[in-house]
Amino acid sequence: MDRGIVSVVSQDSDKQSSNRDVGSTLKAGATETILSYTPSNGSSEDTEAEVQSSSISTLNHRDVDGPEEKQASGRVPRLMILRYMLLFGGAAHASLALCSALIVQLAYLSITLWLSVWTNARDDKAHQFPDQRFYLYVYAGTVAGFILLQFSNNFIFQRGGWHASRTMHQRLVNAVVKAPNSWFRSVSIGQILSRFGPDTQSIDAELTGWLRMTLDNGLRFVLRLASIASIMPIFALPAGLFCLIGFATGEMYSRAEISIKRIVSIKFALIFSHFNETTAGMAVIRAQRSMDGVFQQVLADKIAQHMRAAEAQFNSTIAATAGYFAYSKSGSAGLVGFSLTNAIGLSQTILTLIRNMNELEVELNSFQRIHDYTKVEPEETAETEALLAKNKIPAAWPTCGRAEIRNLRARYAPDQVDVVQDINLDAKPGERIAIVGRTGSGKSTLGLSMLRSTHISAGQILIDRVDITKVPLRRLRKAIGLIPQETVLFSGDAQSNLDPLSEADQSELQSVLQTYSLSQEGGMAQSINGAVPKAQLATDTPIASGGTKYSTGQRQIFGLARAMCRRSKVIIMDEATASVDHETDARMQRLVRSEFVGSTIIAIAHRLRTVVDYDRVIVIGEGKVVEMGTPSELLKSKGAFWEMLKHTGEYDELRKLIGS
């Protein structure tokens, strides 16, 4: 629909093209079309247009799919194995793990070797049988030692893998939490969740096991090949040839498998979407005879059976070759048996080693993806924080709450253009200042700049005459209160949500809860129209993750209560009332006027009704100050603020509230 006229008619066959048309219409400036549309009959339609404008602008501002993730190419660097093992606890623990793996394989080989010695001892003493108990005890001790060494090896690797997994998770959390705002604009939420989900799961549950098995089979392969070659040197040539064939085949398989793993990691959500669509459209698939994939799977199973037969033939070839050379050399029976045993197991070791190496590389892909995220440049490094901490800033800063903005130019990243330009503002202590403007005008960017969430390319922001760039980021954000558009509540009790850092005493927190009158069941606690009052929210009242019991308005009031507990001298309200009803909006403004006396309020507002009683109003347009003054002054000047009031549908009522 376009201004009451049907512009796109969609049939079932062209839904996709219709959706593209609608999307392009939104991106082509539907926001401006709605904002410029003024119904002839007055007011209520304008309000709906304003709300729809905000929703469409939000969709236009956020790419639903997010930035597309680039797929890596090539093999996973072998250096990743060393980096992972160093996370076991340092070079010493990594060396211990390698040595334990080698000792286990030597112990495993010694079992077969001792059987060879036992056999030779019987052959050498054909007429006087050796003491069988001695060889039996040594054999039993060798097996028991191997079991203990294997247990110790597993413990060392599992302990190291647990330490590495915990370290990587901590580094990932720190990197994401400390990442600049520009980085979050370059990645999607799905990409971040995939690191914390499937990739972390891979490191926790799979990577250590595949690393241990790869090392075990690699060392076993080397020791078996060396033992066979030392007893029958001529066997080294065919064994080496078989190894080259096996590893060449594994290399081709590995390249395909790692590419598939990367595609799955990137397109994880699309796979589930495709599965759901397939199950829903099974009738269409059958009608179109699109079932070749099933027969291809059957063919793959037949090929797998053929490969198992080829593996058995591979084993037989190696064993027959080793047996021939052993017979021709007429060696001792014990050594021949030892050689044949290792020859028969060599092919299985090669195939298992190739599979282990491929699976290890697949799991290392997850480790590499997380490792890349841990290298994200933080907003403020530890060295910078320590350097800024040396600046002589009063311990009680800020004490007044004066905020000065001088010729500010800010951007989201150093390589991008300025979003706000030449902004000047002097907010006196205790003053309430409203920042209004169209969606995308830069008003939220101005608020983020006061928290150093943007890159300040020019100008200054001073709070109580202290340049915020000279203040450590942690201390700055602790000093400034922020009430966002959507307050986040986390699992715990009311006390931990109000005061996460445990800086206020319980009596003060209970007083805040009484002031804001929140109930345990959600909603207001006080009696309304004679209704039975609800139980007052207490400090130990449990709160579920997300605060699902409470409405959006109640969560926003909880955000006000949280800011009140901090007693911040400068408070930024970033469209804090944009998602609540008018009644809750009015209540929040009453609380701001009564409970935040003495604090400087900078309110980024979407509803003009919210700010008509503020001390000053700043209108932002295209990143610049369009006009500034008291609400009555701006109303009389009939400028941008007056135009915005005219399009709210509440002009007469708001004009009376302003008093002009």
**Measured between alpha carbons, how far is residue 505 from residues 13, 430, 498, 539 in Å?**
64, 25, 11, 11
Q: Residue 476 corresponds to which amino acid? A: L
Structure-token match 């804090």, residue found: 576
C-alpha span between 601 and 428 (Å, rounded): 10
Model-wide pTM > 0.75: no
pLDDT above 90 coverage of the chain, percent = 21
- The pLDDT of residue 306 is above 70: no
d(CA 610, CA 582): 9
The label of the residue with tokens 């109580």 reads 464
> What is the rounded CA–CA span in Å between residue 504 and residue 339?
76
The pLDDT value given to residue 222? 86
Confidence of residue 314 (pLDDT cuts 50, 70, 90): low
For 342-369, write each residue's pLDDT tens digit. 666 777 788 888 888 888 888 898 899 8
DSSP state of 578: T
Domains of the chain plus CATH, in order, are 12-61 (no CATH), 79-276+298-373 (1.20.1560.10)
Q: What is the mean pLDDT of residues 113-141?
A: 72
pLDDT confidence of residue 166: 94
What are the tens digits of pLDDT across the range 83-119?
Answer: 999 999 899 999 999 999 999 999 988 888 887 777 7
Preceding omega of 484 cis (within 30 degrees of 0): no
Distance CA 170, CA 560 (A): 31
| C-alpha angle 527-530-532 in degrees, rounded to nearest 5 | 55
**Helical axes 292-329 vs 236-266, angle rounded to 10°:** 160
* DSSP reduced 3-state for 2: strand
**pLDDT score, position 291:** 52
Q: CB count, 10 Å around CB of 606?
A: 20
User: Mean per-residue pLDDT for 431-441?
Assistant: 89
Higher pLDDT, 120 or 566: 566
Residue 319 dihedral angles phi and psi, to the nearest 5°:
-65, -40
**Of 277, 283, 261, which Cα lies nearest the Cα of 202?**
261
Which residues, listed in sequence order, are joined to residue 493 by a DSSP beta bridge?
542
**Percentage, residues of the chain above pLDDT 70:** 70
- At 439, the pLDDT band (50, 70, 90 cuts) reads confident
Q: Is the pLDDT of residue 554 over 50?
A: yes
Residue 493: what pLDDT?
A: 84
Q: What is residue 292's predicted lDDT score, i.e. its pLDDT?
A: 58
Alpha-carbon span 397 to 381, nearest angstrom: 22
* pLDDT greater at residue 81 or residue 121: 81
Interval 597-606: pLDDT, tens: 889 999 998 8
22-55 pLDDT, tens digit per residue, is 333 333 333 333 333 333 344 443 433 333 333 3
Using the structure block, give the residue that is written with the tokens 């009555």.
632
Burial of 400 (0-12, 13-18, 19+ CB in 10 A): middle
Report the alpha-carbon distance of residue 206 to residue 367 in Å, rounded.
11
Q: Bigger pLDDT: 387 or 633?
A: 633
Reduced to 3 states, what is the DSSP secondary structure of residue 47?
helix
- pLDDT of residue 143 exceeding 80, the answer is yes
Can you tell me the mean pLDDT for 492-501?
84
Give the three-state DSSP class for 493.
strand
**Max CA-CA distance within the chain?**
125
Q: Which residues contact 331 (CB under 8 A, 6 or more apart)?
A: 231, 232, 339
Most confident of 289-293, 392-396, 400-404: 400-404
Supply the Cα-derived Rg of the chain in whole angstroms. Answer: 36
Mean pLDDT of 529-539: 56
Taking the C-alpha atoms of residue 414 and residue 216, their distance in angstroms, rounded to an integer, is: 49
Confidence tier at 277 by pLDDT (50, 70, 90): low
Q: Residue 434 phi/psi, 5° resolution? A: -105, 140
Q: What value does the mean pLDDT take over residues 171-200? A: 87
DSSP 466-492: EEGGGS-HHHHHHHEEEE-SS----SE
Q: Does position 577 have pLDDT exceeding 50, yes or no?
A: yes
Q: Mean pLDDT over all residues of the chain?
A: 76
Q: CA-based angle 164:169:172, to the nearest 5? A: 125
**pLDDT at residue 512 tops 60:** yes
pLDDT at 585 over 80: yes
Q: How is residue 75 annotated by DSSP?
A: P
pLDDT recorded at residue 536: 66
Question: Is the pLDDT reported for residue 76 higher than 70?
Answer: yes
